A and B are shown apart, each in its own frame.
Chain A
């Protein structure tokens, strides 16, 4: 009974958190969205004068963060039925940011203000994809290479290690977010972020060490010395630092940590599949060991460059 109520309350809270992203259109404009790279599409609730709708000076568009800079419009093209308009801009828009469109003179003297932003869930998803593929932590950011080359010898170890990494990253990023937003920022202690974050990461790793020893001793033994090395690993400490740099909120931090961990798991798995095969290959003696691993990783990195054009939302 109690549990159902808690679930209901949390569901309502979640919906409320996303409502501002959904309910933007009111009054004259019923729907607004980003079109191509330099377009904003507006839909009107009533028919408007086409000549007025095509007048560029009726619109003013700014980014929500910098209200001083008016974005320059190239043209405004009303659609055939006269209940919509497409705004073309001279420069491509930064669609990750919220844009504010002010429309005047279309229905009397009333000014209508609408905010154009991408769907928030889509934005969260794009953070995940970006951390997972486009900015893969191993192949395009070069973080965590010591553990990456150390544990990518066998597939089973690689998989377990990747999962443990993801768990540690998510847990430590969440804790870092709470510490950063409720202790460091209010008391103006930003300069302590490195000390606090590394402390939290070590704490999480110690906890995982203790739990894993009891819950799954076989996996624990297969990790050996590398579990301790997790502390001295840049992948994990990089997530809270990026969170602090970009001032992410809780959901965004969660997605970043999940994407970073998933990306690390993916990289470890790919690399371990290759190195299992390399054991049977004839490698020149000078290239044995690390050098050939580096060359393989370089080829993976080149392949991952292909993801840089990926944009889903």
Chain B
């Protein structure tokens, strides 16, 4: 099915058309939980990207050997292995960033998006396509996290990536934990608005 799609199309699909956070609405926990700054979003995005690409590759390599009835436990164990790897690497080389993300690095193992991608894509498609699909999904997740982080950091502390941009702090509320729900909800509404706008435009034309 996807053999005719080019690698770039697969990546773009993950970033735009099936963006894990805004379009598929999967893996909302980290999107709300630790997206207080752009840097946090970026770090967790990198971790998810790594786990997604590696498990996609692994599953697509061994897909012929896996019996269909035990495929879900196999996925879970594969993801758990790669999460352990990234968990230990981050704890060893970036202890500060690791401390900020807290328990969420270990919780990547339970992110629905990774399991879903393995079930929908990697267990049917060849290795190359799975790699590009995993890359697209990981990048989509990372960009989504960074966008939410950007909004919250800019509005909450008037800075981007730690550099003071506005010179004042507009709304401290956005740094507070509960603002995560509001920001994600409003951004989803915004994307819905754009979609409805284009649909209406098309409707008038035809």
| A305 proximity list for chain B (CB < 8 A) | 176-178
Smallest Cβ-Cβ distance to A287: which chain B residue: B189
Does the CB pair A232–B112 fall under 8 Å? yes
Interface residues of A in 289-313 (CB under 8 A from B): 290-295, 297-298, 301-302, 304-305
Separation of A238 and B102 alpha carbons in the complex (Å): 11
Does the CB pair A198–B112 fall under 8 Å? no
The one of B25, B33, B112, B181 in contact with A297, judged by C-beta atoms closer than 8 angstroms, is: B181
B7 within 8 A of A: no
Does the CB pair A194–B32 fall under 8 Å? no
Q: A237-B107, A285-B196 are in contact. Are A291 and B189 (CB under 8 A)?
A: yes
The one of A149, A195, A237, A245 in contact with B28, judged by C-beta atoms closer than 8 angstroms, is: A149
Interface residues of B in 1-36 (CB under 8 A from A): 25-30, 32-33
Separation of A304 and B177 alpha carbons in the complex (Å): 11
Interface residues of B, count at CB 8 A: 42
| Contact count A vs B, C-beta below 8 Å | 119
B166 within 8 A of A: no
Most buried by A among B29, B32, B77: B29
- Contact residues of B: prevailing secondary structure: helix
| Minimum C-beta distance from B27 to chain A (A) | 7
Interface residues of B in 172-189 (CB under 8 A from A): 176-182, 184-186, 188-189
B141-177 vs A: 1/0 string, CB under 8 Å?
A: 0000000000000000000000000000000000011
Does the CB pair B182–A298 fall under 8 Å? yes
Does the CB pair A232–B106 fall under 8 Å? no
A138-176 vs B: 1/0 string, CB under 8 Å?
A: 011111111001000000000000000000000000000
New A-B contacts (10) at CB < 8 Å, excluding given A231-B72, A291-B192, A294-B184: A139-B178, A142-B180, A145-B28, A149-B28, A194-B80, A199-B77, A291-B189, A292-B185, A293-B185, A298-B182
